Amino acid sequence: MRTRFSLHLLALAPLGLVLTSPVTAAASMDNHVITAKAPVDATRYSGTVSVLTADDIRRSGATTLSRALQHLPGVYLSHTGNVSQQAPRIRGFSHEQTLVLIDGKRVPNTDRNLSFAPAYRYNWVPMSQVERIEVIRGPGSSLYGADAMAGVINIITKKASSQWQGNLNGSLGHLDGSHQNDDFGAALRGPLGDKADLSLSVSERNEDAIKDDNGASLTSDMRSRTLQADLGFDFNTDNRLELGLLYGEEKGGDIDISDFMGTTYTSDYRLDQTRRRLSADYLTRLGGFDFQAGASQGKADLTEGRSDWTIDEDNYQLELNGALGTSQHLNMGLQHRRETVSRSDMNFHEQVDATTLTLQDIIALTSEHSLTLGLAYDHHSKYDAEFSPKLYWNWQDDSGWGLRAGYGQSYLAPSLREGSSEYVIQAGPFRRYEGNDDLQPETNRTYELGLSYIQPDWRSKLTLFHNRIDNLISTREFQQGPVTVARYSNVNKAQTQGLEAEFDLNPTEHSRVSVNYTWLDSQNRSGPHDGKTLVDTPEHLFKVRLEHDLPRHDSTLYAAWRYTGSQYTNAINSDKLDAYQVVDLGLGTRLGAHAHMRFGINNLFDEVIEQGGELLEPGRELKLTLSADF
C-alpha cells in the first residue's frame, strides 16, 4: 500500500539530503516531521519540535495523551474544566491556544467554545493506536491558520501495511485509596486485496472519581469509548482515496461538593458527550506536485450539568506540495472552516466561516544553509483579515553543529461564545457572564534562536524564545445594580520568554538518557496586574528520563524524575503553589514473541499536589499494562 508516496519521497531525495541534518540524512526519509509539510527532520525544521514514537509511549507506560507529553521540554500539565481533566500547556500559554490535530485534521474545539475551558480534545484516540506524536512549540499559523498560537499537537495513528496486523492491550491502575482505572483496546489493520486497506480500532476506559478527606470530588468518575475506522483505495500508483471515521462517547458522574461548613452534598452536574469526525481525502499528482483535496465533518454533542451544547466544525482543504526545481520545496494550501456552536438550554446559536490561504517555501541556499518563508492570509466572517508571516533560517554543518533563528506571527479569534453579545449566562443571583460583539482576535509575535550539536550517540540543543501577546481575552467586571457583570474583553497584553535546554545520550548500546530544563519568565504587560507573573506558569521545569535494556531478560528498566517550580495561583501574585517533584519507575518485559507486560509505580513518593480544589498530582499509582501483537 501507499507505493506512490514512498516513490515520490525518493524523487525528492536530493533536496531532502540538503534539508536534513548530515548526521541523520541516511534515515531522513523515515524521520520527516509530518506536521512540517516538507521533507525535513527535527534538526532542520523551521521552529522547535519534539517527536514521541510508539516505543517512547510504550516504555513510559502512558495511557493518556497528557501523560505522554509531560516529559517534553516547555510542556507542563494543568487541570481544567468542571470535571477536572488534565491538559498540556506549552511555554506558558493556555491549553486553549494550542491546535490539536489527529492525522493532520482538526477536531471540534470544545476546549474554547465551552464554559470553564474543559479538556475534551485529548481522548479521541487511545495511546496504544498512536504511531507518533509531533509537538510544535511556537506559532503554527503560517501553515495551519488560526488556533495554532501556542503550537500544534499532531497525533498520528497507526496505518495499515502490506500484511495483516493486530493488537490487544489492557491496563489496570490503582491509586492509594479506593481509586482505580482500567482501559482495554483492540486493533486490526491490513490489506484488502491489492488495491485497498483497512484499519479498525476500539477502546474503552474507566476511571473512578478521586475524593478528598471530606468526600468532595477532586475529579469526576469517567467512562469513555472510542472507535476508529480508516479505509483506503489505491486506484493506481498516483491516485488514492482515504475515508476515515472517529467516534467516541464520554460520560462523567455527579460531583460531590463540600460547602464552607464542611458539609458534602451531591451536585446534579454530570457529563454526557458524543463526538465524531468523518473525513475523506483524495490524493493524486498534479503538475509534478503532490495534490490533496480533503473534507472533514466534526461534531460534539455534550450535556454538562444543565447545559446542552452542540459544536459542529466542517473543514475543506486543498493542498499542493512538492519540489520546485532542485533547491526549493513549496507547500500551498487553501482551507475553509465553518464552525457552529449551539446551547439549546439558553437558545444560543452562533456560526462563523473562516478561509485561510497558506504558502511555505523552503529554500536550500547552500548544502548547509536553508531559509523558510511562510505566510498565511486568514479571512474571517466576523473579524478583520489577518496576515501571519514566518521567516526562519537554519544552518547545519557536517561536524554536527547547527544554528537557527526565526520570527513568526500567529493569531486566535475569540471563541463563539466569547465573541457574541447573545451569550448571557447567570452564575448565581448576583453574577452574570456576557459575550462581547466588539472583541478582537488575540495575536502573538514570536522570536526564536537555537543552537544544537548532534553526534551519533548524543544530542544537545539550546533554544531561546520570546512571545509578545496582544489583545488577550479575559473578563472585565462592572456593577449593574446588585449584579456583578463579567464581560469578555480584550484587556491584557502579556509576554512569555525563556530557555529550553535538551540533552540526549546513549551511553551504551542498551542505555538511553534524556534530560531537559525549561526556564519560563511570564508577565502581564497592561492593566491592573501590569508587571505581575501570569497565573499557573512555573518558572522552572526540570525533567530526567533513564532507560536501560536487559537483553538477556528481554526487559527494559525505566525511571523518570520531574521537577515543577513554584507558580502563582492568582493574578495579583499573593498566593503561590510551592515547587514539587515526582518520580516514576517502570519495568517492561517481553512475554514470548508476541506479548509484552509492564509494571510501573507512578509518583513513587506519593506527592499529592492540590491547589484550589484542582488535583495536579493525585499520589502514588500502581500500573499494570499487558499487550499482545499478532
Which domains does the chain possess? 3-260+274-629 (2.40.170.20)
Angle at 124 between CA 50 and CA 138, to 5 degrees: 30
Write out residues in the chain with pLDDT < 70, as ranges. 1-31, 81-84, 177-178, 215, 254-269, 612-613
> How are the residues of the chain apportioned to helix, strand and coil, as percentages rounded to the nearest 5?
10, 60, 30
Cell of 399: 561536524
Q: Are 493 and 472 in contact (CB under 8 A)?
A: yes
Burial 405-416 (b: 16+ CB within 10 A, else e): ebebbbbbbbbb
pLDDT at 4: 42
Residues 6+ apart with CB under 8 A from 528: none
Inter-CA distances, 606 with 39, 177, 283, 618, 621, Å: 45, 12, 51, 8, 8
**Cα–Cα distances in angstroms (integers) from residue 573 to residues 383, 528, 612, in the given order:** 34, 12, 15
Contact, 162 vs 147, CB < 8 A? no
Spatial distance between the Cα atoms of 495 and 442, rounded to a whole number of angstroms: 13
How far is it, in rounded angstroms, from Cα 44 to Cα 371? 10
pLDDT, residue 300, reads 93
pLDDT of residue 260: 54
pLDDT (0 to 100) of residue 263: 62
Q: Are 611 and 569 in contact (CB under 8 A)?
A: yes
Give the type of residue at 243: L
From the CA atom positions of the chain, what is the Rg in Å? 24
Q: What is the pTM of this model?
A: 0.91
First CA to last CA across the chain, in angstroms?
19
What 8-state DSSP symbol labels residue 94? -
User: What amino acid is encoded at 105 in this protein?
Assistant: K
Please check whether residue 227 is in contact with residue 201, taking contact to mean a CB–CB distance below 8 angstroms.
Answer: yes
Residue 339: predicted pLDDT: 95
Distance CA 509, CA 205 (A): 36
Under 8 Å CB-to-CB from 549, ≥6 apart: which residues?
510, 511, 555, 556
